[in-house]
């Protein structure tokens, strides 16, 4: 009897709905995001899949200078499923639309997008009122770079430095843990970075952002395109890594490695080197070389310090020697590409200490000099000593490798700040600025 | 550009149906007979893993709300981890039986993701009903697979797991983008 009553209670609990919880989905916007219109629109309208509650200020439309261009309060039509606001006569320029409506359950559904009248609008991340980046974003991006370095650098080390060498199961296991952590970190922190970037554009706390429409950000920006391509690509890399581990076929690491190399370009094609004024294919290529060389170097160091040294004493000397040779080339490529980028991005030498971008670059360069000096010590002192058969069992070398790895990973933190800093503006000969102004 | 959401759900329904039928066949004829062909042991975990990989495009292309994106990300990872761990166990790369717990864990996470991301009540719309039903199906599945981890040869738990997958497939096949349920569509969802 008691069991039947319990079963009945469970069935009732499962079948009965809780209080009405309706979450509206935006179906259409007019004008749509990223639109470049030949004539000024008279209204902005949003079509939802269900009735919503709108307020007088539910749709806010601002010019690039922050001027309110709405001509009246927001109203609803179509039984509450369409929300419309009239506009003043809009002159040529970029406009930001921020909207928020309340679903029947009380959740605030929101969005932000841009359109232009006879000009190309800026991406939503540069909409009027967009903020960021925050300190949390820097940390997330740092983790992302570390993940990328562990993945790409770890694979490069396994395939190039340990090429043709028999490795122990213990080394192989730790290698897969490290590159596995790298690919998972790249996916998770990439997603987190995307959400945080959206939070900057929306200017909403995360608990309200979960009902935010991210389509304009995902589809209307280079950053969004890179996010889509890189998430899909890293999922494929994870699959290849898993299959390589499962079948013990090292050859499957090659497609994972090449895919990882291609995916690194996503950052170069969506960052400063691609979107800033004056950027070109040369700046994109330099950025890519700089990034890939840094990933090889940092990831390789971690592999040498935390995989080969503790797990395979027999491979220490040879792995150290091979990585030392590779690192010399990597450092050369990294420094050349970095110098070119600094030359391109800093119009004057004084920008190094006067502009924030230059100041961060100076901190990064100081850490790089420290790391390179440390690397030079390894290259010119430790490597020859190991060749002579001395120091293979030295704990000091192990500590020294871990120290250089720590400095390299610290550099990535500064890089995370640097990539979100705006380089000083260059004098441009464009008469009419087309992008919205950040507040 | 993307196919309608209902079509994507049906495609995953095909995957779950095939997965469920494999499991049901194994439950009926017994593990020893099923595994007389070595490749059969890899069949359902491979399908689960592949479905996890294929879930990523859904995650990145359907971005109408952040919570939908995160839910699909959770399902993609749950499928890959559950399928991957089973493949590792079958192949002998993983030896600890604790890895068997990845399956109930994946179902628990998936079920919770369904229930958390659905903001509407059961009878609000067809999709709301399906989301609730799928969520509770997977939570029950988590309990069944927990029992299966403790008693791998139990026909009850093995058949139960298979039926959970078939039920999941059936619910996915029932998905329509806009449709009434029980002859009623909430006015809030567009019903007149």
Domain locations in chain A? Answer: 26-126, 135-419
Model-level pTM?
0.85
Q: Which of B146, B139, B70 is nearest to B107 (CA)?
A: B139
The pLDDT score that the predictor gives to residue B188 is 54
> What fold does the segment set A26-126 form as a domain?
Immunoglobulin-like (2.60.40)
CA distance B122 to chain A (A): 5
pLDDT digits (tens, 9 = 90+) for A102-148: 876 566 788 889 999 999 898 888 888 887 788 888 999 999 999 99
Q: Is the pLDDT of residue A6 over 70?
A: no
Q: Please, which residues 128-147 of chain A have a Cβ atom closer than 8 Å to chain B?
A: none
The residue with greater pLDDT, A260 or A223, is A260
Chain A residues with beta carbon closer than 8 angstroms to that of B70: 191, 195, 210
CA distance A353 to chain B (A): 40
Q: Three-state SS for A1?
A: coil
The pLDDT score that the predictor gives to residue A21 is 39
Mean pLDDT throughout A183-190? 95
Q: Is the pLDDT of residue A59 over 90?
A: yes
Q: Which residues contact A52 (CB under 8 A, 6 or more apart)?
A: A24, A76, A80, A81, A83, A101, A102, A103, A104, A109
pLDDT digits (tens, 9 = 90+) for B30-67: 989 999 999 999 999 999 999 999 999 999 998 878 88
Band of the pLDDT at A22, cuts 50, 70, 90?
A: very low
CB contact under 8 A, A213 and B121: no
Q: Which of A239, A243, A250, A245 is nearest to A163 (CA)?
A: A250
Q: Return the residue in B41, B63, B125, B135 with the most chain A beta carbons within 10 A, the one to mutate for interface testing.
A: B63
pLDDT digits (tens, 9 = 90+) for A290-333: 999 999 999 999 999 999 999 988 898 899 999 998 988 998 99
CB contact under 8 A, A209 and B119: no
CA distance A188 to chain B (A): 9
Q: Is the pLDDT of residue A434 over 60?
A: no
The pLDDT score that the predictor gives to residue A26 is 85
Q: What chain B residue is nearest to A215 in terms of C-alpha separation?
A: B63
- Cis (ω within 30 of 0) for the bond into B109? no
Neighbours of A280 (CB within 10 A): 11
Considering only CB atoms, A22 lies closest to which of B73, B84, B120, namely B120
The pLDDT score that the predictor gives to residue A267 is 84
- B90 in Cβ contact with B45 (< 8 Å): yes
Residue-by-residue pLDDT tens, chain B, 192 positions: 678 888 898 999 999 999 999 999 999 999 899 999 999 999 999 999 999 999 999 999 988 788 889 999 999 999 999 999 999 999 999 999 899 999 999 999 999 998 987 877 887 777 778 889 999 999 999 999 999 999 998 999 999 999 999 999 999 988 776 665 554 555 555 544
Chain B residues with beta carbon closer than 8 angstroms to that of A26: 64
Q: Do domains A26-126 and A135-419 have the same CATH topology?
A: no
Q: Which residues contact A314 (CB under 8 A, 6 or more apart)?
A: none
pLDDT digits (tens, 9 = 90+) for A365-415: 999 999 999 989 988 998 888 888 787 777 888 899 999 999 999 999 999
Q: Which of A222, A139, A230, A238 is nearest to A182 (CA)?
A: A238
Alpha helix segments (H runs only) across A50-168:
135-156
Q: Does B96 touch chain A (CB under 8 A)?
A: no
Phi, psi at residue A116, to the nearest 5°? -130, 145
Band of the pLDDT at A5, cuts 50, 70, 90?
A: low
Q: Please, which residues 141-180 of chain B have a Cβ atom closer than 8 Å to chain A?
A: none
Q: Is the pLDDT of residue A52 over 90?
A: no
CB contact under 8 A, A17 and B57: no
Q: Which residues contact A420 (CB under 8 A, 6 or more apart)?
A: A132, A133, A137, A138, A141
CA dist., res. B54 & res. B45, Å (int): 14
Chain B residues with beta carbon closer than 8 angstroms to that of A14: 136
Give the ipTM: 0.90
Rg over CA atoms, chain B? 17
Of 1.20.1630, 2.60.40, 1.20.120, 3.40.50, which CATH number belongs to A135-419? 1.20.1630
Mean pLDDT throughout A179-189? 96
CA dist., res. A168 & res. A174, Å (int): 10
CA dist., res. A103 & res. A23, Å (int): 5
Q: Mean pLDDT of all residues in chain A?
A: 86
Chain B residues with beta carbon closer than 8 angstroms to that of A108: none
Cβ pairs A/B, distance under 8 A: 99
Q: What chain B residue is nearest to A196 in terms of C-alpha separation?
A: B66
């Amino acid at each position: 009897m008691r069991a039947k009553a319990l079963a009945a209670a469970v069935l009732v609990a499962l079948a009965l709905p809780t209080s009405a919880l309706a979450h509206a989905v935006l179906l259409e916007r007019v004008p749509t995001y990223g639109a470049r219109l030949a004539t000024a629109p008279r209204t902005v309208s949003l079509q939802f899949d269900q009735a919503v509650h709108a307020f007088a200020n539910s749709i806010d439309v601002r010019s690039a200078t922050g001027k309110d261009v709405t001509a009246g309060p927001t109203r609803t039509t179509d039984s509450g499923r369409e929300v419309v606001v009239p506009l003043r006569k809009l002159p040529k320029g970029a406009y930001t639309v921020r909207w928020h409506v309340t679903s029947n359950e009380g959740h605030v559904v929101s969005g932000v997008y841009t359109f232009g009248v006879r000009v190309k609008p800026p991406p939503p991340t540069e909409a009027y009122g967009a903020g960021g980046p925050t300190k949390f974003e820097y940390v997330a991006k740092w983790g992302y770079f570390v993940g990328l370095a562990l993945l790409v650098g770890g694979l490069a080390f396994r395939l190039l430095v340990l090429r043709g060498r028999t490795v122990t199961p213990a080394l192989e296991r730790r290698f897969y843990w490290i590159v596995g952590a790298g690919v998972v970190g790249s996916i998770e922190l990439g997603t987190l970075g995307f959400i945080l970037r959206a939070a900057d554009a929306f200017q909403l706390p995360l608990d309200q952002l979960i009902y935010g429409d991210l389509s304009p950000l995902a589809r209307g920006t280079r950053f969004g395109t890179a996010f889509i391509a890189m998430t899909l690509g890293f999922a494929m890399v994870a699959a290849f890594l898993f299959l390589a581990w499962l079948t013990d076929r090292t050859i499957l690491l090659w497609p994972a490695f090449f895919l990882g190399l291609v995916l690194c370009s996503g950052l170069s094609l969506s960052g400063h080197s691609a979107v800033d004024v004056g950027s070109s294919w040369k700046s994109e290529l330099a950025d890519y070389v700089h990034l890939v060389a840094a990933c090889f170097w940092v990831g390789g160091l971690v592999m040498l310090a935390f995989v080969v040294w503790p797990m395979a004493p027999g491979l220490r000397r040879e792995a150290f020697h091979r990585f030392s040779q590779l690192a010399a080339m990597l450092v050369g490529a990294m420094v050349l590409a970095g110098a070119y980028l600094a030359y391109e991005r800093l119009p004057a030498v004084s920008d190094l200490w006067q502009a924030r971008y230059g100041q961060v670059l100076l901190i990064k360069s100081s850490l790089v000099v420290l790391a390179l000096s440390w690397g030079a010590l390894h290259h010119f002192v430790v490597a020859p000593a190991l060749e002579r058969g001395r120091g293979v069992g030295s704990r000091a070398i192990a500590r020294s490798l871990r120290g250089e790895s720590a400095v390299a990973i610290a550099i990535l933190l500064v890089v995370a700040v640097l990539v979100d800093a705006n380089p000083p503006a260059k004098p441009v000969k464009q008469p009419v600025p087309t992008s919205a102004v950040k507040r | 550009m993307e196919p309608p959401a209902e079509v994507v759900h049906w495609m995953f329904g095909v995957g779950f149906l095939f997965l469920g039928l494999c499991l049901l066949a194994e439950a009926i004829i017994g593990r020893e007979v099923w595994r007389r062909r070595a490749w059969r042991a890899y069949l359902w975990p491979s399908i689960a893993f592949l479905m996890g990989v294929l879930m990523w495009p859904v995650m990145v292309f359907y971005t109408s709300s952040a919570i939908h994106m995160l839910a699909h990300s959770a399902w993609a990872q749950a499928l890959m981890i559950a399928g991957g761990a089973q493949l590792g166990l079958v192949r002998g790369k993983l030896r600890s039986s604790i890895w068997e717990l990845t399956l109930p864990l994946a179902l628990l996470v998936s079920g919770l993701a369904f229930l958390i991301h659905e903001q509407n009540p059961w009878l609000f719309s067809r999709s709301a009903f399906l989301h609730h039903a799928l969520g509770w199906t997977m939570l029950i599945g988590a309990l069944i697979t927990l029992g299966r981890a403790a008693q791998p040869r139990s026909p009850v738990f093995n058949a139960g797991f298979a039926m959970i997958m078939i039920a999941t497939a059936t619910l996915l096949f029932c998905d329509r983008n806009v449709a009434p349920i029980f002859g009623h569509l909430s006015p809030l969802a567009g019903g007149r």
